[in-house]
Amino acid sequence: MTTLSANISYAEPFTEHLVSLGATKRLPTYAWQVRITGYLKIFQKLKPLFECRLANSMYRTLTETLDFNFRRFTIRLNLQGGKVVDIQRLGTGERSPIGLNLVVFVQLLMGYKSREELELAVPDMRIAVSHKHLVDVLFPKLPSYIYSAY
């Protein structure tokens, strides 16, 4: 007797196909291990995605300087008319309404946990009321299976 088992994300088309053929779901699912080593580079790569998310939201014409304070450094996004016109890495943690934790940021970035879930679990993740919805727009919760302890 052969047993077909699926233990990766159940939101993936191939896994859905395996389950339709009779595969059993194993819990917990496999989680990808993700570590960000270049924060400036990841923000630069995600620029088109951020612009798309802004364009499909109430922030489509936003003009603001957003500082993502990671305590040891800050990633600054300059937005004009809903477009990211400049991204910089500042060497120090600048005061900002968006204070993030380096260790759990990957969970927010990959959509594994929502901003609200992380704020409840991680005391040093502080986002001002004025920026909570904007952070939710930029980093929505999505089907994601990651393990970020590394």
Q: Is the dihedral of CA 93, 98, 99, 100 positive or negative?
A: negative
Task: Based on DSSP, count helices (H) and strands (E) in the chain, helices before strands.
Answer: 6, 9
pLDDT tens, N- to C-terminus, the chain (150 residues): 566 666 666 666 777 777 787 777 666 666 677 788 899 999 999 999 999 999 999 999 999 999 999 999 999 999 999 999 999 999 887 789 999 988 889 889 988 899 999 999 998 899 999 999 999 999 999 877 766 555
Distance CA 120, CA 53 (A): 24
What local confidence, expressed as pLDDT, does residue 59 receive? 97
Residues composing the chain: 150
Question: Dihedrals φ, ψ of 41, to 5°?
Answer: -65, -40
CB atoms within 10 A of CB 50: 20
Domains of the chain with CATH codes: 1-30 (no CATH), 36-145 (3.30.1050.10)
Residue 87, strand partner residues: 77
Distance CA 78, CA 63 (A): 8
Distance CA 104, CA 102 (A): 6
